[in-house]
Amino acid sequence: MSDPNQPGTVADAQSGNWVDRYAPDWLKPYARLARWDRPIGFWLLFWPCVWGLALAAVANPLLGFDWWGAVLMFVGAVLMRGAGCTFNDIVDRDIDSSVARTRSRPIPSGAVTSRDALAFLIAQALLGSVILFQFNRFTVWAGVASLVLVAIYPFMKRVTWWPQAFLGLAFSYGALVGWSSQTGSFAMPALLLYMGTVLWVIGYDTIYALQDIEDDALIGVKSTARLFGSKARPIVAGFYAGAYLLWLAAATIAGAGIVFAVLSLVAAGLLAWQVQTVDAEKPDNPRARFYSNHYVGIVLSLALLADWVW
């Protein structure tokens, strides 16, 4: 965690992150606003894009894996995750000032004004649109449609116990974008991949939200962590099991075989470890389990690519 005594640092960022250490002073507040000091978010947005690309390669081996498309989607994930976080912080500035973990963020701490944050949001969104327009028309319109989910997500914690479901719908969209960028359409494997990824996001964001249960209860913010309460562990296990089965079904229908089935068990093991060891009473425990989903993304990517090569 960052040192709370160092001016401008954010409480839930890793200590000694590259933004705190190397970014010029004028950039630091905006880099923190975009969560560049916490890259886990753009990785979790990026990996479903890779899955979609790799699944399309498995379904159409002669197409191959679009490495340049993956590079574009990585840049797009960084930009759109930054834009989404900026928008979320503008909307949640009053809530963030009431939660211990978030009151040090740039807007509630006064490091960035809401007006400047809005300008930064627009700049990121425009750059993200440049990336999106590198793909086919179907993918462009699919990407534009996803902005509806991005726009409504910050408000969901005020009106429903299931904000994690709306995050899942938005954060999993890369699976559809990756697939359609190669095929120009949606198909059953992509839809199953998307639905499985939605369940995965609900599971890991429920684990992440365990950190904020007490603060959320005090200020009236809803979450699946609060909704599930003491039953969070078995319910998250159910979401993870559903995610894995849908991923397996998507890969099988696309034409994947034993290579994916065996290698993907490593991802299943990581998910099982999260559920088995998560403990909201231990400081930083849920956060560490949440962060391990980065490795789930890597493993599934490698499993699909290995099956394509095989």
Q: What is the pLDDT of residues 178-200, one digit of tens each?
A: 999 999 999 999 999 999 999 99
Query: Which of the four pLDDT bands, split at 50, 70 and 90, describes residue 92?
Result: confident
pLDDT of 102 reads 75
Task: Supply the pTM of this predicted model.
Answer: 0.91
Residue 34: closest CA among 101, 107, 100: 107
Please write the tens of the pLDDT for every residue from 253-281.
999 999 999 999 999 999 999 999 999 88
Task: State percent of the chain over pLDDT 70.
Answer: 95
DSSP 106-117: HHHHTSS-HHHH
How far is residue 270's CA from residue 224's CA, in Å, rounded to a whole number?
21
pLDDT of 111 reads 87
Please write the tens of the pLDDT for every residue from 106-141.
888 888 999 999 999 999 999 999 999 999 999 999
Burial of 147 (0-12, 13-18, 19+ CB in 10 A): middle
Helix 232-254 and helix 258-277: axis angle, to 10°?
A: 170
Say whether pLDDT at 152 is over 80. yes
How far is residue 32's CA from residue 190's CA, in Å, rounded to a whole number?
33
Do 32 and 13 meet the contact criterion of CB atoms below 8 Å apart? yes
Domains and CATH numbers, the chain: 18-309 (1.10.357.140)
Please write the tens of the pLDDT for every residue from 153-165.
989 988 999 999 9
